[in-house]
A and B are shown apart, each in its own frame.
Chain A
Amino acid sequence: MLETSEISSTIRMIHEEHLDMRTVTMGINLNSCVDSSFAKTCDCVYDRICRCAGRLVEAADRTGARYGVEIVNKRISISPASILLEGEGRTVDDAVALANALDRAAESVGVNLLGGFTALVQKGMTRGEALLIDSLPAVLSATKRVCASVNVATTKAGINADAVMRVARKVVETAKASIADRGFGAAKLVVFANQPEDNPFMAGALLGPGEAECVINVGVSGPGVVKRAIDRLKKRVGHPRLDQIAEEAKHTAYRVTRVGELIGHEVAAALGVPFGVVDLALAPTPAVGDSVGEIYQSMGLERIGAPGTTAAVMIINDAVKKGGSFASVSVGGLSGAFIPVMEDHALSQAVTEGSLTLEKLEAMTAVCSVGLDMILLPGDTTAETIAGIILDEAAIGVVNRKTTAVRVIPVPGAKVGDEIDFGGLFGGGTVTAPKCPGGNETFVTAGGRIPAPINSLTN
């Protein structure tokens, strides 16, 4: 039998430290639904999702109940939807019809979000991909569950500056199209560099071209578990060294990831589909005690954003990856520390207080697992400003051979300092802005492609 201390620590993780399965995401390839009749394509999409994922929620809930671990979200990722829009004569109305079919299917099987309304345009853009991007304002304001992503850069391809500008305009238009929801549509759109093809987390979930027909990927979280582990370390040793903190975080990440590995295997077996990856992401929720920012505070950063914050992010991100990689047969997705400002009360508070700026967040994204995520911008933020933000993030990702992303919401009518609350997991926060938002127009509209960096030439 296990040691008493081992049993107690596991129970503590589940009951007191917010350990949960953040998402069980079923990836479904929809490429076989291409038909010369677009109505038939949409019908096929709906039917295939319902057929593949009809038992997803029940299987996930049953497995969660068996272990007494909450599976917070059951979700679906699909193969890039742009492929379904490639046919001759397709229009924005067709894209909206497709998104509506996806939305209805997601509702029908009981999942809260569906990702993969995606275009991969890092090197060039097809008709279907251009159409998908152009349809984003209509799609994201008309649907509830559909999440979109656009990959504008990879280390191998460089950065597609034409695509960056095009999608930046759509970010602004999407926020305006969902003005009744304070621009919430833009919260369901993320722009990537080096987008992972097995990411189970929203809004960037996707079943990439190299993936199986149908697969289960899981996302585990647990920032509260890591924070409490560091707090206990401090209680034990007083003032721990940074290597002691890193070691504690690594071991904790191992234990958290194992829960995902266990439950993911069981759900996949119950549904008769392959198990894909565990994505161990320290993904916060707006709840106190479930915050990545609180980890940095426990590490000794009283004010998040103070010099040293980037190093703290690096320590935790690296520890999470090391612990997670040993825990799972296949770690994938984003795996690391997220810093979604609105979804993390401590980060959000730091932005409100002014200690955490957009520029500091950008520095942190060089060492975290994603990028500028869930950031509220003033309503008059221009597409050129957003394009510049995307280019900067993509540059960080491309050169460092890592994923970076931008998910910003230019809230219609809002000014710096305004408080916005989307509720639920999306959280709330204070509108912020770059210190120097303009003066980049000539550069960001120049178009073309930023060539792949020299360190991409690895063959």
Chain B
Amino acid sequence: MSMTYLVTVVASDRPGVVRDVSCALFDMGGNLLDVRQTIVGGIFVLNATVSFDSVADGIDAMRSSITTNVLKALAADKPDVCVRPVANEEQSRKQSSGNYVLAVTGSDKPGRVYKISSILASYGVNIEDWRYDSRDADHALSIGLVKLPDGVSREELENALRKELSPLGLTTSLRHENIFRATNEVGPIAALLGE
């Protein structure tokens, strides 16, 4: 029986961390399907899905083995590892079309992301990707790739966000993803529109 796992690794950053994690998974017969790695606050963070053709000793036993082997590979890097089996229905869930880009700028204050995400949740908006950069404290920037549910218009949501966020000194922009892709990517517009 094949099985896919989501592996999250947090560790001190140094050259070679990706090599050591991928080596540990390869040695176990794993095949990397999707890898997202970044540095947040100077800390190495990696999320990956990895599939195994066979988990003969059981799903939980394989989960433990992955955890153990990755921890061992990064022993000197103060690692934290979380491994979770991915159900078939979760795997088949694709990123939806009709995505919008939300950008909120303004001075950095505690609770800001909570406030924004609360408004989005109240409208049933799903956040598919999120970044928050407060290195410039006066112009902290939240950017989210969000999916609007049926029945919620861009203008309606943008107005709601502005109503709540303007008093906090925050500027809000909600635009369809295609406008950003059109102005920044090279390629036929027809491809963006699926023509």
Task: Enumerate chain A residues within 8 angstroms of B174, measured Cβ to Cβ.
Answer: 68
Is A33 interfacial (CB-CB < 8 Å)? no
Q: In the assembly, what is the distance between CA of A6 and CA of B189, in Å? A: 17
Task: Render A262-279 as a binary contact track against B, CB cut-off 8 A, 1 for contact.
Answer: 100110010000000000
How many A residues, CB 8 Å from partner? Answer: 28
**Total A-B Cβ pairs within 8 A:** 82
A6-58 interface (Cβ within 8 A of B): 6-11, 13-15
Contact (Cβ within 8 A) A259 B103 = no
Interface residues of A, Cβ cutoff 8 Å to B = 1-4, 6-11, 13-15, 65-69, 255, 258-259, 261-262, 265-266, 269, 328-329
Chain B contact residues: helix, strand, loop or mixed: mixed
Task: Enumerate chain B residues within 8 angstroms of A265, measured Cβ to Cβ.
Answer: 189-190, 193, 195
Please tell me which one of the listed residues B133, B158, B173, B184 contacts residue A6 in the complex, with CB atoms under 8 A apart: B184
Task: Render B171-195 as a binary contact track against A, CB cut-off 8 A, 1 for contact.
Answer: 1011111111111100011101101
12 sample A-B contacts, Cβ–Cβ < 8 Å, listed by A number = A1-B145, A2-B180, A4-B133, A8-B103, A13-B183, A65-B155, A258-B182, A259-B182, A259-B183, A262-B189, A262-B192, A265-B189
Task: Enumerate chain B residues within 8 angstroms of A261, measured Cβ to Cβ.
Answer: 182, 189
CB distance from B37 to the nearest CB of A (A): 14
Q: A262-B189, A262-B192, A265-B193 are in contact. Are A2 and B141 (CB under 8 A)?
A: no
- In the complex, besides A67-B176, A258-B189, A269-B195, 7 extra interface pairs with C-beta distance below 8 angstroms are A4-B131, A4-B141, A6-B184, A14-B179, A259-B182, A261-B182, A262-B192
CB distance from A320 to the nearest CB of B (A): 16
Task: Enumerate chain B residues within 8 angstroms of A4, measured Cβ to Cβ.
Answer: 131, 133, 141, 143
Contact (Cβ within 8 A) A10 B179 = yes
Contact (Cβ within 8 A) A2 B184 = yes
Task: Enumerate chain A residues within 8 angstroms of B193, measured Cβ to Cβ.
Answer: 262, 265-266, 269
Q: A4-B133, A265-B193, A266-B193 are in contact. Are A67 and B179 (CB under 8 A)?
A: yes
Task: Enumerate chain A residues within 8 angstroms of B129, measured Cβ to Cβ.
Answer: 1
Q: A4-B133, A329-B188 are in contact. Are A262 and B173 (CB under 8 A)?
A: no
Tell me which of A8, A9, A69, A266 has the highest count of chain B C-beta atoms within 10 A of its own C-beta: A8
